[in-house]
């Protein structure tokens, strides 16, 4: 069986619709809250249909010098157009975007993972500096 780390795919988000894109300041103030926006399909929109959708987005932070990341947030995306009338008959479709706020006293790396029901696990990351 493959290692869990080998199941995550990564690519240039400008060319691949499945990569989680992390938008936040590159430098934050020590101990002050800051906002992170994660989106899937930023440059090339993800279809988000009953048959093909993003199910969840996880956000982690790995402080420099520490061995394990902390989970910051988990977002379940549940509306994919399905209804009792069949696939794509509902008017409800969740857009794969999420916002969270946290604070840290150490620089480190924000990592996001997303799950596409057809194309599997995808990851993105961004380093932040603490001033």
Catalytic residues: 16-18, 46, 52, 116, 119
Q: Which two tokens stand for residue 46?
A: 């993800």
Token digits of residue 71: 């989970």
The sign one gets for the Cα dihedral 24, 22, 126, 31 is: positive
| Cα–Cα distance, 115 to 102 (Å, whole number) | 23
Q: Which of 39, 42, 41, 37 is nearest to 72 (CA)?
A: 37
User: In sequence order, which residues have a C-beta less than 8 Å from that of residue 114 and are 6 or more positions away?
Assistant: 18, 19, 20, 38, 40, 54, 56, 57, 58, 96, 121, 122, 123
């Amino acid at each position: 069986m493959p290692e869990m780390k080998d199941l995550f795919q990564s690519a240039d988000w400008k060319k691949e619709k499945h990569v989680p894109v992390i938008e936040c300041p590159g430098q934050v103030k020590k101990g002050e809250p800051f906002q992170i926006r994660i989106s899937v399909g930023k440059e090339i929109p993800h279809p988000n249909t009953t048959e093909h959708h993003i199910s969840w987005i996880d956000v982690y932070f790995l402080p420099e010098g520490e061995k394990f990341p902390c989970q910051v947030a988990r977002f379940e995306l549940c509306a994919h157009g399905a209804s009792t009338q069949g696939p794509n008959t509902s008017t409800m479709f969740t857009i794969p975007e999420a916002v969270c706020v946290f604070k840290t006293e150490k620089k480190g790396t924000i990592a996001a993972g997303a799950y596409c029901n057809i194309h599997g696990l995808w990851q993105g990351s961004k380093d932040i500096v603490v001033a």
